[in-house]
Amino acid sequence: MRAYNQMSKDKLLTLKSDLEKSYSDYKAQGLELDMSRGKPSSDQMDLAMGMMDVFHSKADLTSANGTDCRNYGSLDGLKEAKELMADMMECHADDVIVYGNSSLNVMYDTVSRSMTHGVMGSTPWCKLPKVKFLCPVPGYDRHFAITEFFGIEMINIPMTPEGPDMDMVEKLVSEDETIKGIWCVPKYSNPQGISYSDETVRRFARLKPAAKDFRLFWDNAYCIHHLYEDKQDNILEILDECAKAGNPDLAYKFASTSKVTFPGSGVAALAASKANLDFIKKQMTIQTIGHDKLNQLRHVRFFKNIEGMRAHMMKHAELIRPKFELVLETLDRELSGLEIGSWISPLGGYFVSFDSMDGCAKAIVAKAKEAGVVMTGAGATFPYKKDPKDSNIRIAPTYPSLEELKMAIELFTLCVKLVSVDKLLENM
């Protein structure tokens, strides 16, 4: 197909007329499709329904060490739950605290604690004149919402195919002691699906921050979320790399089973150095007597071990892989060669990241919504919802049915074409 920017004004006007007719046909269908969030489908959640059969009124509800899971106790989690989550996170069980259902909640708590009580004896961030965070972009909107909520200034760090721009990260972190952290989704990043290279992970571990209370907020949300059994990204384990680099306290590592079992009833975990964990547990003894041990035990008995969890995730892959492939095939068929957009083909995670021509993303999302397809808001993948190029759009394929997704992504590509033609005509 011929690139749109090579077409004459008359050709573009003729194309615009044809595209508008197709768009009107879609609008007439009265579609109501939702691709706004990266939620598992009902079919995916059905895979974990066997967890409901693990317990019954006569079930033995004691853990391996004899703890009655109905009662108080086990502040940092059941031993077997810590082992399972550690295997999932590729770290050591002694480095893990098991929480409730939400890793986002744990990340919020970690920022909140730093604001009110500092980091391992440092000045509480709320008492400092300014606190800043580095934010790889495009990135996860809910990360940015946390730091914005606490009034923390956010600095954009461009993503590369290897991960965040480490030259920029190293320079900023070493020179500015008001920079206290960086948000990271190191494996199958949200939304691009990029996995950090070995060199990027090592450079993170070797950082020399001006601030002693600087931390990597390492959200390994998609650590076992592969689309293929034979093609998978692997990344270095950050806590081990930090220890090797002489920075054992540098990283907080987060994960959960929210998109493994039930998003509303998963198990979340934090892994960090002993010094970090000891400091965190002092707050936890005030905050709670313990999290939901029955849910922890249910997960352990359902999966049994990490191999059971990996086998379960391949069942997820069988359900969502066709959806990702449909999106990518449609983008390729409808938009390749037109020079009006680009995208990345991920091997895992939950999203496909699309970059339109500059200044088009908001208009594309609005046009899709007008025709009945709700997408993540343009700008959401940047701090303060301000995409400086107005180009990035996060596509979330997992929740709709395959049939709904087919209509939605075809309409999306039509909207990309229409808005791009308008933009080119506007600039003539």
How far apart CA 8 and CA 119 sit, in angstroms, is 60
The structure tokens listed for 151 are: 């009034």
Q: Taking the model in full, what pTM does it have?
A: 0.96
Task: Look at residue 179 in the predicted model and tell me its pLDDT.
Answer: 98
From the list 295, 312, 305, the residue with the least C-alpha distance to 63 is 295
Domain regions of the chain by residue span: 4-44+310-426, 62-304
Arch. (CATH architecture) of 4-44+310-426:
Alpha-Beta Complex (3.90)
Please tell me the predicted confidence (pLDDT) of residue 233: 98
Hey, what CATH class is 62-304 in? alpha beta
pLDDT at 425: 97
**What is residue 347's predicted lDDT score, i.e. its pLDDT?**
98
The predicted structure's pLDDT at residue 211: 98
Query: Consecutive sets of 10 residues in the chain, 428 residues long: mean pLDDT of each?
Result: 93 97 95 90 97 96 96 96 98 97 97 98 98 98 98 98 98 98 98 98 98 98 97 98 98 97 97 98 94 98 98 98 98 98 97 98 98 95 98 96 96 98 95
Q: What does residue 223 show for φ and ψ, rounded to 5 degrees?
A: -60, -25
Helix (H, G, I), strand (E, B) or coil at 18: helix
Give the model's pLDDT for residue 257. Answer: 98
Task: Give every CB contact of residue 375 below 8 A, 6+ residues apart in sequence.
Answer: 35, 36, 365, 368, 369, 393, 394, 395, 396, 412
| Those residues with Cβ within 8 angstroms of residue 222's Cβ, 6 or more apart along the chain or in another chain | 185, 187, 188, 190, 259, 348, 349, 350
